[in-house]
Structures are given as C-alpha cells and as structure tokens.
Amino acid sequence: MFASLSDRLSATFSSLRGKGRLSEADISATVAEIRRALLDADVAVPAVRAFTAAVRERAASAEVSSSLNPAQQIVKIVHEQLIEILGGASRELNLAKRPPTVIMLAGLQGAGKTTLAGKLGSWLKEQGHAPLLVASDLQRPNAVNQLEVVGRQAGVSVWAPERGNGVGDPVQVARSGVEHAREKLYDVVVVDTAGRLGVDAEMMQQAADIRDAVSPDEILFVLDAMIGQDAVTTAQAFADGVGFTGVVLSKLDGDARGGAALSVRTVTGAPVLFASTGEKLRDFERFHPDRMASRILDMGDVLTLIEQAEKAFDEDQAADLANKMAGDGDFTLQDFLQQMQQLKKLGPMKKMLEMLPGMGQMREQLENFDESEVTRIEAMVQSMTPAERSNPKIINGSRRSRIARGSGTTVTEINGLLERFEQAKTMMRSMAASGGRGMPGMPGAGGMPGMGGLPGGGKKSRGKMAPPPKRKKGKSGNPAKRAQQERELAQRAAQKENAGQSASGSAFGVGAAKDEPVDPASLDLPPGFEKFLGR
C-alpha cells in the first residue's frame, strides 16, 4: 500500500547524499518534496502540515547542522516523525479487571467488520483468551450466517439467538451475549454491529444504544484503509456520534495510497491497535507504529517477520535442521521439503520478502514474483522416492525423466532444482561455519525461484526454472576412463609433492637445506646485494 510513498521518500533522501552540510535551501526543498509525497499518498492536510512543520523545525536545528552525515540525520528525523504521526508507542488492549472484557466493533458498511471479528477472535484465542463472538448485525443479509462461518473457521464460539436479515433487536442480542459470556466463563466478548453511514442518524443511534447497553471496555472503529481522505470525515463522524477508543485498519494489503493510516491518529487522537493485511484469518497483526514507519522508509520489518516465523515453525524441527546445516548429519531433500511446507505457513512469499530491508529497490522483481514456482518445487520433490530424497546422487537420467513426468515439469527443471539444492547446502554450511545468520527456514534464499534477478525469475522466465550453472567436469562413469583419471590425478599429486620437497627450506624455491651455507655467487644477485645477506 505504501509503495508510492516509499519510493518518493527514498528518491528525496537520495538527493541529499554526498552533501557535507545542508543549507536552508536544501532543507526547504526536502520538506517541499516530503509534503508533495504525503499529499500524493492521500494524507489529510492537517496531518501533512503538522508533519512537515515538525520535520522543518528539527532539520534546521543544531542536530543536523553539526552532523557529519546530514542525509542520514534527515532520514532519522522523518522516521521518528512517522512513528509519532502513526501513534507513537504501541498500546495494548484494555482488559477488564473483572471478566468478561467487552469489545465493540463499529464502522462503515463494507469496511470488513464481520471478517475482522473472526480474525480478532482467532488472535485472542492464540493469546490464551476464551473469546465469544456476538452477532448483533441483524441488518445486513446473511451477516449472522457469515459470522458463524468465520467463527467455525477460527475455532471460536458465536452467540446468535436471532437470524437477522432485518429481524430482531440488536441491543437485546448484545446484552444477552454479555450475560451468556459471564455464565459460561468467556473472558472476552467481541460484539459485531451493523455497518452504517456517517449521515445515517438512525443507525448511528443504534450503535450508541448498543454501547450504552453493554458498556464496552474497548470500542474499535474498523476503518477501510483504501478510502483515502474520506476516512478522516468518517472517523470524525463516528467519534462524535458513538466515540471509539482505538482503530483497526482493514484492507491494508490493497493498492491504495495509504493516507488513512497516516491521517486517522492525527485527526481523531485514537491509536491504531490492529491491522488486517489479507483475506485469511491469519492475515491479522498488532499495529506497531515504529515497524510501520520502517516499512514506509524501506527499512524492513524483521521483528514482525521473526514473530510470524516463530508461530509457523516447529522448534524441534528447526533445531534438527539447523544441526544438519551445520554439518551434524546430512541435509536431505526431505528436510528441504519440510522447510518449504513450513515457509508456506507464513503466507505469500512476496509478502514475507517485502519485510526485508532494502526490498523497495527490487520492487519490480517482487511484482514479478511467481508464487506458483514454490508449488512446482514441492511437486518435484514429492515425485521422488524416499531413497532419492535422502540421497540425490542416485538420481540418474532415467530417474530424472520419471520425476519430471510425475511432477509435470521438464528434466531441465529437475536438473536446476538439484543444482540449486547442492548450492544451498554448501552456502548454509559455510554460513554455519562462519557464525553467520540467515533467514530462519530459508536455505538458499538467494536461489529462490520465481523472482526476477534470481534464478528462475523475471517476466521472461516466469514459470520456468533457470538452467543450472556450468560445473566442473567430474569423474567419468566409464570404469576405464575413471581409472585413467585416477592415475592422472595420482601423478599430478606426486609431482606437486616432489616440487614441494625440492623447495624445502626456502620461501623462494631455492633448493638448499636449512642449515647449509649459501654461496652468494650462486644466487645471481645484482652487484652490492651481498652486504644484505647474513654472515
């Protein structure tokens, strides 16, 4: 979503590199570019004014004028101001001292409240809570049925005494849901309410009545991140009509310019608590202003990536694979397949790669990333027998043809996979030996297929594996030729050994023993060099 803003800011900062000091004109030009970038991203004008004023004031201060690297200092200032405009420090949910904690969802029609109720319920369950979803949206057709479906998918209970479709009292449903949660010892209640328009006084009053009936500990305003500056007007209308304590950004994976995320905190004062980044239940995360600011400035979000990896990867399997990569045992194609399957639990590979620092410079390659290539690799490995996965060296020509037919690929692609697998093993072991750390669960990430600039990627090669690099000629399979090769190797080794013995005792290859006297005349030195020789 923030791709355009990120590119504009990166271009602005690149123009400052190489300057020893920043003049007032440089600062004015930089602030003007930042202002244009924010306005193009559909950020609300009040938020843009507050942001650029703070950047200008700090950029003109002594902290930049005395800095040895003013360009980096400007980036630091913009990063800190982005964190501030996004809400500063992350805030936890306000939990009731005496359960159940009541969380009420409110928002416009089509903002994604019902799906988000299921995501929030799933997240609360992962945190060790016992949530209950209450279906108080009796206005929209099949809203109750949809909440029951997402509740089953999330493994969360749903309270739905009324079938809805315009029939029933949503206030009474919300009240009875809280009572049911108290009786059955649910510690969190999530009340899904009907969507409404900012100008719909009747529906706004209904939301206020539900608020008064259940006295929620949190009122979360679900805001569609794709609606641009209109989000400010909508948020203000809800703040005046119902009030809310926090914001949840939905559809943050869209291709809009992201102005809502940068505007809502400045205009309403309410912090952003959560973000919905996709259609699946797992595409839901806590909103951290510092991490989002880092994403906007192409600094990556490694902390979120690590948290997701910790959820997806099995600790015992990860430890076993790490030992194998370090040389304790043999890392096989079966292990590689297990890692591929665990990586798929993280979600789309493109989304995961976007969290790495500096990936904004590879935006075109990321756009061309072919997710289906990962599935093709999985099919190739699954088409092998257990013996072939354990020992890829036995995969001869006929076996490669069989694997290609079984996986719907070509022999060339099988060759490329085996070649990259050997390269990945070598790279991982060298990294382990040097104490380096790679991406968890990503052996051979540099050879990940389906990405432009990497083997198997780009528009021209989409859907095809890159041909394996040429390798040095190995030992022949012909017994006679193999014996001849071994004799030649033995002869070369003997010649090297004799040459080393003849040069013993001299770093320059002079064939004299260590303790034997050296005749200066025999060294053929230039006239006058005899005086530098030890006596």
Q: Is residue 324 annotated as involved in ligand binding?
A: no
Q: Is residue 195 annotated as involved in ligand binding?
A: yes
Q: Is residue 524 annotated as involved in ligand binding?
A: no
Q: Where are the alpha helices (DSSP H) in 346-458?
A: 349-353, 363-367, 372-382, 386-390, 397-407, 411-434
Q: Is residue 196 annotated as involved in ligand binding?
A: yes
- Rg (C-alpha) for the chain, rounded Å, is 32
Q: Is residue 114 annotated as involved in ligand binding?
A: yes
Which residue in 169, 247, 254, 278 sits closest to 213, CA to CA?
169
d(CA 425, CA 434): 14
Measured from the Cβ of residue 101, the count of other Cβ atoms closer than 10 Å reads: 22
- Side-chain-facing half-sphere of 212: CA atoms under 13 Å: 8
Q: Is residue 112 annotated as involved in ligand binding?
A: yes
d(CA 40, CA 32): 12
Q: Is residue 304 annotated as involved in ligand binding?
A: no
Q: Is residue 250 annotated as involved in ligand binding?
A: yes
Q: Lay out the sheet containing 272-276: strands in order across.
A: 157-159, 131-135, 188-192, 101-107, 218-224, 246-250, 272-276, 284-286
Torsional sign, CA 380, 386, 389, 393: negative
Structure tokens at 164: 């809805």
DSSP E strand boundaries for 160-308: 188-192, 218-224, 246-250, 272-276, 284-286
d(CA 425, CA 416): 14
Q: Is residue 111 annotated as involved in ligand binding?
A: yes
Q: Where are the alpha helices (DSSP H) in 96-250?
A: 113-126, 143-154, 170-183, 201-214, 230-241
- The phi, psi pair for 446, rounded to 5°, reads -65, -20
d(CA 325, CA 470): 24
d(CA 235, CA 106): 10
Structure tokens at 190: 């999530």
Q: Is residue 108 annotated as involved in ligand binding?
A: yes
Q: Is residue 401 annotated as involved in ligand binding?
A: no
- Can you say which residues are annotated as belonging to the binding site for GTP? 107-114, 192-196, 250-253
- Can you say which residues are annotated as belonging to the binding site? 107-114, 192-196, 250-253
